Structure 1
Amino acid sequence: MDSAFLSGFALSLSLILAIGAQNAFVLRQGLRRQHVLAVVLTCAVSDAVLIAAGVTGFSWVAQAAPWVQPLFRWGGAAFLLVYGAISFRNALRGGEALEAAGNGDWSLRAAILTCLALTWLNPHVYLDTLVLIGSVSTKFPGRHFAFGAGAMAASFVFFFALGYGARLLAPLFAKPGAWRLLDVGVGTLMWAIAFSLILDTQG
């Protein structure tokens, strides 16, 4: 399989895996089996739109202003190093567990509006998709669309797996130890990508 596609898939998946309100809401809806298809599609399609904007827009900007590419590569590497360090810190501290099941039912409209708010009103999603994924995509000249496709595929795979596999995943990720392992994996991947960006910039 195309290395650009796999790289996009891995980066996007590592970003989505972080504990957050959006994932907690998707897991909650999956546990209660309420509007699961609408919820996961809303999250995945929103991500796909933002990823497409990041990959295409950043490539255009990089061609118009060549100095932007190394600037954002260094910025992306710095962000990944910090993000990875936070993941390692969380793994050392432990005590994290995802509380997903809540009380009360949600209407279809309320569920979709909540998903849209958790996605589009979250400032981190713009950094992840428009800046970070967009900047890393420049490592694959001529194949940035494959990179973007991989990133989008990761979003769809993750949200569908989380929504429909919630009843299987919830007991596992209610345990702090599972999140420790996840944080270590995410931190390792983040740092690996950061160092690859730094080496490319120096080269």
Structure 2
Amino acid sequence: MNFEISRKRMVETQLIARGIADQRVIDAMLKIPRHLFVEEAMATNAYSDSPLPIGEKQTISQPYMVALMTELLNLSGGERVLEIGTGSGYQAAILATLVDRVYTIERFRPLALRARRVLDSLHLLNVNLKIGDGSVGWPEEAPFDAIIVTAGAPDIPAPLLQQLSVGGRLVIPVGNQFEQVLKRVTRTADGFQSEQSVGCRFVKLVGKAGWGIEE
């Protein structure tokens, strides 16, 4: 299978055709080899228009959703970005090509370790990864210019809002455990402004400021 051809087709038919217009995001999606972030047996499906399982009951998001959420962050290149839910590491890889520094948190150790290996193999050395409860953010490294949450939350976690710099953007799916709406929150000098994007469905954001801790 020619993965480069599949990647170009993915970008043309799934992203550009659906309105993704940020050329930096498009270039990042063309550059990063998505097939390296899924199990080898599923590599031929890596560029399909759907999420895929990655273990631990988690998924790698649909390519369009990765591109849309990245575009909504409105990144210019010098930002420090926090990602909640490393998963496969694919979203972190896209961000790493676009910004100065990525901080990403994953609660499942096997996923975190595998993501770290793939990111290192691609020489994406501007990604800081830790294992922990992403719903409470990474206060030691705050504030962040942008925050992206790749799991659905019942509400926007207060700790993440507080870790956003003035002018910063937070993109997060908010709703119940079965369907959510993608929201973008911008922090201003006076508070927070919220906008809605598309309907979506993500795995649960598990944690103290999410759906609670699962035993």
Considering fraction of residues, name the structure with more strand.
2
Q: Give the TM-score of the pair, scaled to structure 2.
A: 0.24
Structure having the higher Rg: 1
Q: Which structure ranks higher in relative contact order (CA pairs < 8 Å, sequence separation ≥ 6)?
A: 1
Q: Give the TM-score of the pair, scaled to structure 1.
A: 0.25
Considering fraction of residues, name the structure with more helix.
1
